[in-house]
Structure 1
Amino acid sequence: MHDLLIRNGWIIDGGGSPRFHGDVAVQDGRITRIGRIRERARREIDAEGHIVAPGFVDGHTHMDAQVFWDRLGSCSSYHGVTTVVMGNCGFTLAPCAERDAGFVFRNLERAEDIAPEAMQAGIEWSWETFPEFLDTIDALPKGIHYAGYIGHSALRTYVMGERAFTDQATPDELARMCALAKEAVEAGAMGFSTSRTTNHVTADDRPVASRAADWDEVRAIVCAVGETGRGVFEIAGEAPGRSPERLRDYHERLRDLAVDSGVTQTWGMFSTRRAPDFWRPYFDLAEETAAALRVLNIYAP
């Protein structure tokens, strides 16, 4: 007897095949059969008129704080999402000691519209390093699965304190950030994320910490992640406007970083009514880089 049987649904298996009408059997938490199933199960669900499909993966979320007070992972879970990736755009709660939580709250507050008071009330702090943060997330009761990047803004404030919002890192500070990023990825972080967009500011209209870094700093950290042989680099990108020269310079830096580090990239591809063809150079970049390495995934926010 099966543990669970979902009957009479329209099954879309995610492999690209046409949907079909059938049943799905589950045993010990794993799908064991798909098709027309005559056996009974301890629990049966009639899915007539509904789609039965694998859970969606949302690769760009900011649920780093919400996970502490929202067990369901709403509203992602309402739409068939069963796995989310948080920590995008350089905004994470680790590494950070509890006494310095104001730094990471400052980075999150405006960009994600979460009041510091809500985070203080909803988060029980039990970590300092990113591996400790992963252990904390793992222990929380959750209705969906979570993965996360180590964020550049949190990394900077952990190493540099208040100077992270205004100054360049010293060689020693940069070396420490590289080591911490490697440690995080080796412990299970999805990779490293950063923001260079002018849209990301603090509540007092200052740039978030990652925006104070130069490209050499970004490059060094991504290359350090590359030494692990794993991980993804996520970037909320620069705003070169419609200048072909500035756009090309930015794209060449992304391309060279992907090739030199061997780290997969994911970045936003935007288009607006005012610039309906703005996306095209990003597709050209993907093809250009892919000609040298298999590196790029593209998300459209």
Structure 2
Amino acid sequence: MRSLLGTALIVAAALVAVHGQRAQFDLVIRGGRVVDGTGNPSFDADLGIRDGRIVVLGRATGSASRTIDATGLAVAPGFIDIHNHSDTTLLDDPDGQSMLRQGVTSMILGEGGSAAPSRRWPRFTAYFDELRRRGLSANIGSYVGSSQVWTQVHGPRAGPPDGTELEAMRRLVGEAMTDGALGLASSLSGPPGVWIDTDTLVALAEVAGQHGGRYSTHMRTEGTGVFKSVEEAVEIGRRGHLPVDIIHLKIAERTMWGQMPDLVALIAAARARGQAVEANVYPYRAGQNDLASIVPPWAHEDGATALVARLKDPSLRPRLEGEILGKVPLGDWYNHYTATGGWDGMLLVTLTNPRYRQFAGKRMSEVITSIGRPPLDVLFELLIENGGSVPTVFFHHSEEDMRYALAQPFVSIGSDGSAVNADGTVGPAHPHPRFYGTFPRVLGRYVREARLLSLEEAVRKMTSANAAKVRQFDRGLLRPGLWADVTIFDPARVLDLATFEQPQQYATGIEYVIVNGTVVIDRGTHTHARPGQILQGPGRAIDVDASRQRPMGQR
């Protein structure tokens, strides 16, 4: 046996001599300024990468299959988008152009509505397998959405679940967690999330917490009831025994602008009591929802077809008008019309009916003038003729409040956007500019220009802070042994170019993006490589097929 082994080693050595030894590194990034993701001061160092992981941080001597000269550039961990909506757009285009070109190497999906459990993908394993089959340029992880679970069991209607339904919902959350979901996420400002009561959310969050997950929430209201909504989020985390992340912390109510310090103090008080409560923001003063969010929740029961039928019913018109215009208060419902302050604060994103596509990118006030009918007539017409849904940007919170939230140490960065293409073949015709510019905007406008954040702190908010939230401790930092997700950018030039008027523009200054050791953005150009992996949650069943954890390869 020993002689056979010795012969084999001699043959192997001979083959290496003939074909040449493998380089010590697959990739070396030389001469850059390393911003390592900790928030500590940056430093000059090389980065050596082999087999998808960082093996040297310091002086990388030895041969390399490729060397990138990063002189004058910042070398950071790949940005982790903690709040992303690319659940379906990545199926249309796995390149994820608008996100990769921002420096994003990982996207966290699944807000209130997640890809699974659904009719198409009853389990997350099926959804993840589909993503693997197509290949991905970035890493993907997902929460399980409370609205998804609610609709699967209870349907698109109000009213508390009975005991049997609640147990079925809890079972679905448990299955999702063992399939690799990162936690439970909710979107409570509109149907179906608005119908899910606090006790039900606690019961679902408790299951996610038992599997090591987090509760991520788009709160019930960001308007006049925003303080009460924060208290509810904190309560769900406390009673469910799991950490909380508040999605895009904001005060979206003109009459309350300037109260962000008080809202931050409410969160800080919970943290001082020992509770794990954090938040994220996007660096814009407008959000995106749907024109249908102006319509009160009761009109949405049983889905879009029922909504359209109600909008056509003249007997319901007085009630709808009173509630939409705020003449008749409707409990804790977050009324986007009153919060925004009028029709000029709404910009239409996508209209599916060809007769109305001319209005994409127009303010609702402009559309009302163009059609020449009373405002509510135009509102109802647009929703009826576009299947009950018109994605819309709402200008409802202030720049000053956003900046105050952004500066807080427990607040990280998330886009609330989707991966789309500038040629318009994937995604809406006129999206929110955050789809293209979130991370470069922070680096260009709030680090370099406004000096609101240091470069090191901004990078921490985009990397290790988000990695820790979803328990991905082998990413988010530049350290030997961790996966080589790396973004290389020019601190003097990085900037978002997308605007609300002209959003389909890629950012500038992102030079290289590396995912699991593979270059995906090369001198600003997408290579169409597909090395992305599925980011598994802490509750993933231990009998994971190890082969599924390998990089998915390239195209």
What TM-score range do you get, normalising by the shorter chain? Answer: 0.7 to 0.9
SS at match of 1:221: helix
Residue 23 of structure 1: CA displacement? 1.8
1:270 maps to what in 2? Answer: 250
2:124 maps to what in 1? Answer: 130
Q: 1:169 aligns with which of 157, 161, 164?
A: 161
**Quick check: 1:212 aligned with 2:204?**
no
2:140 maps to what in 1? Answer: 146
2:320 maps to what in 1? Answer: none
1:13 maps to what in 2? Answer: 36
Q: Distance in 2 between matches of 1:129 and 1:259?
A: 28
Q: Where does structure 1 differ by over 6 angstroms across 4 or more consecutive aligned residues?
A: none
SS at match of 2:115: coil
Q: Distance in 1 between matches of 2:124 and 2:51?
A: 32
**Quick check: 1:188 aligned with 2:167?**
no
1:69 maps to what in 2? Answer: 92
TM-score by structure 2 length? 0.44
Q: Distance in 2 between matches of 1:240 and 1:2?
A: 49
User: Percentage identity across aligned positions?
Assistant: 27
2:79 maps to what in 1? Answer: 56
Contiguous gaps of at least 5 residues in structure 1: 99-126, 199-207
Q: Distance in 2 between matches of 1:182 and 1:3?
A: 40
Q: Which amino acid aligns with 1:22?
A: A
Residue 39 of structure 1: CA displacement? 2.3
Q: Distance in 2 between matches of 1:160 and 1:84?
A: 29
Contact 1:64 1:86 (C-alpha < 8 Å) held by counterparts? yes
SS at match of 1:17: coil
Q: Distance in 2 between matches of 1:92 and 1:172?
A: 22
Residue 151 of structure 1: CA displacement? 1.0
Q: Distance in 2 between matches of 1:37 and 1:240?
A: 49
**Quick check: 1:91 aligned with 2:71?**
no
Residue 272 of structure 1: CA displacement? 6.2
**Quick check: 1:4 aligned with 2:14?**
no
**Quick check: 1:37 aligned with 2:27?**
no
SS at match of 1:13: coil
Contact 2:151 2:192 (C-alpha < 8 Å) held by counterparts? yes
Q: Distance in 1 between matches of 2:132 and 2:194?
A: 30
Q: Which amino acid aligns with 2:59?
A: R
1:117 maps to what in 2? Answer: none
Residue 240 of structure 1: CA displacement? 6.4
SS at match of 1:241: coil
Q: Which amino acid aligns with 2:29?
A: I
Q: 1:57 to 1:258 in 2, by over 3 A?
A: same
Q: Distance in 2 between matches of 1:20 and 1:273?
A: 43
Q: 1:211 to 1:143 in 2, by over 3 A?
A: same
Residue 73 of structure 1: CA displacement? 1.9
1:124 maps to what in 2? Answer: none
Q: Distance in 2 between matches of 1:51 and 1:249?
A: 41
What CA deviation, in whole Å up to 9, does each residue of 1:188-227 have, x standing for no partner?
10111111114xxxxxxxxx32222222221221122223
1:197 maps to what in 2? Answer: 189
Q: Which amino acid aligns with 1:18?
A: P
Q: Which amino acid aligns with 2:215?
A: F
Residue 247 of structure 1: CA displacement? 4.8
1:251 maps to what in 2? Answer: 230
Contiguous gaps of at least 5 residues in structure 2: 1-23, 283-555
Greater mean deviation of Cα atoms: 64-73 or 11-20: 11-20
Q: Distance in 1 between matches of 2:124 and 2:204?
A: 15
Aligned residues: CA RMSD = 2.2
Contact 1:7 1:24 (C-alpha < 8 Å) held by counterparts? yes
Q: Distance in 1 between matches of 2:39 and 2:222?
A: 37
SS at match of 2:95: coil
**Quick check: 1:261 aligned with 2:247?**
no
Q: Distance in 1 between matches of 2:262 and 2:213?
A: 25
Residue 59 of structure 1: CA displacement? 0.3
Larger of the two Rg values belongs to structure: 2
Q: 1:195 to 1:81 in 2, by over 3 A?
A: same
Q: Distance in 2 between matches of 1:28 and 1:130?
A: 28
Q: 1:87 to 1:46 in 2, by over 3 A?
A: same
More strand by share: 1
Residue 284 of structure 1: CA displacement? 2.2
Query: How many equivalent pairs are there?
Result: 257
Residue 253 of structure 1: CA displacement? 2.7
Q: Distance in 1 between matches of 2:222 and 2:42?
A: 43
Q: 1:231 aligns with which of 213, 221, 238?
A: 213
1:290 maps to what in 2? Answer: 271
What CA deviation, in whole Å up to 9, does each residue of 1:245-280 have, x standing for no partner?
x55543333222222221111113114694343322
Q: Distance in 2 between matches of 1:166 and 1:294?
A: 31
SS at match of 1:53: strand
TM-score by structure 1 length? 0.77
Contact 2:209 2:240 (C-alpha < 8 Å) held by counterparts? yes
SS at match of 1:234: strand
Contact 2:37 2:76 (C-alpha < 8 Å) held by counterparts? yes
